[in-house]
Structure 1
Amino acid sequence: MPTHQHESLVELFRSQPMLAAWYLMHVFGEKVPDYERAHAEPCDFTDVGPKEFRGDSAFALYDGNGRALIGICVEIQRGYDDSRHWKWPVYLATLRSRLQCPTYLLVIAPKLGVAAWCRRPIDLGHPGLVLRPLVLGPDRIPAVTDPVEAVAVPERAVLSAIAHGEGPDADAVLTALLAGLHETGDEQAKMYYDMVAEALSVTARHRLEELMALTYEYQSDFARRYVAEGVVAGEARLLLAVLDSRGISISQDAKDRITSCKDPDQLEMWGRRASTVDSVDQLFD
């Protein structure tokens, strides 16, 4: 079952059809022909039998006459799955047959170990026919530290933050990300922010929240809302920790009520009570 982050990364590429081709050119050195437009393609790769193969996403670059120049299968891989080595060649061959042009397999693997596994050559059996996936792992994703670049293509800044949000360039990478989000529509910015926050460690996530709060350039409605939500979430976590440290049983309903509360004053009041109550019911009285 695809995870939320898996689907978010798929949507990241669908929202910017040229993104996959940019990485082919600038990371893997592939020559991409001059094109008129980039377009998302159907990613169902059903064969002639009853079995259906469905990939994550597919794209094509077209010339001015509507002729496909290259096709790109983009796969998001967050864990080890040997079935991928049987399915990926099907995706590539089906897209090639459908578009009647050269095709590439680009695998996005946010974890270093998984990226190394994805790079293993896939021997198709026919002499000389070996598929070597092009894998964009954290070691190959360029760090975006220039806010201008992040504003131009925020999707590259998102992948950069996922890969480098905890390295030596973390502050520059996260600051550039915030610049890109500031110029993006609220709904898309929210999705991108959540995608990065989910991928980062707790320490790096807190640093991202601090940068958003401290850097005045990014005090948009989006930034202010997220800073406020971060404060509320922190209050809820602290309240649960106090109750747990006192050995007070917390039902799932009570936990949901605390974590879903968006009123900081209410959370503060519960926090004061948490040091003296004998049960969660008393907390809510």
Structure 2
Amino acid sequence: MSKKRFLRWIYAFNYTFITDLQAIKMNEFNQQAALVTGAASGIGLAIAHKLLAEGAKVALLDCNEKGLQNEFAGYKEQVMLIGVDITDEALVQETVDQVLAHFGKIDILVNCVGITGATNLKSHEVSSENLHKVFEVNFMSCFYTSKAVLPSMMAQNYGRILHIASIAGKEGNAGMLAYSASKAAVIGLTKVQGKEYAEYGITVNALAPAVIQTPLVDALPDVQVKYMTDKIPMKRCGTLDEAADLVAYIVSSKNSFTTGFTFDLSGGRATY
């Protein structure tokens, strides 16, 4: 073989190798099935698009079924679009059974549903009704969905569960009792489940974002947003892309030795 032909062969080999690596990277979740709650907006929407772009089949849950149709109808057989009240345990179990029947398995669960409830209130001003509502959406939904998917994950000896918590669950935000307490409960749930299923090839982790630019944050009073943003050493909001990229690692097969952990996404606000 001449030197010229040899150099061409090396170039072609390198090009093919790099292209194959890029294809593998773009299909990190190929042949995997995921379930994402709160997928019609905010962080859930960004995560859903990320998983779909990397090859996963994804069941997308949200009470806003029209929003799901508007965002994901083009994916066709790669998605299941399910409008469901995530605070109804029986409906959640029925939905998980439906997803298992359709995809044959659930490898990944990402819980993104969340509401702030009434804010800018001191604790004695918080209504019990609002507190219960926030806990039902933010905490009980994580319990219901994980309870429903865990048996199938145990049977296949593999699973990735991620609960979206909040920096408020670590530190507590004044004026946000219901939200802060419910997210603290999510972190507690993560620690327990991480220990309970560690020997089944299942990791259970949480993500604690600070202020991420989402419709949820846009709906908060300016004074509340300023209070939270002022605490971030980077002096900016996080982005949806930053959140989705970190989530993609946490729920990937690469993240195989971290469980029961709360990942920081706070621009340095809380690193514990």
Tell me the TM-score normalised to structure 2 length: 0.30
Larger RCO (CA within 8 A; separation ≥ 6): 2
Higher alpha-carbon Rg: 1
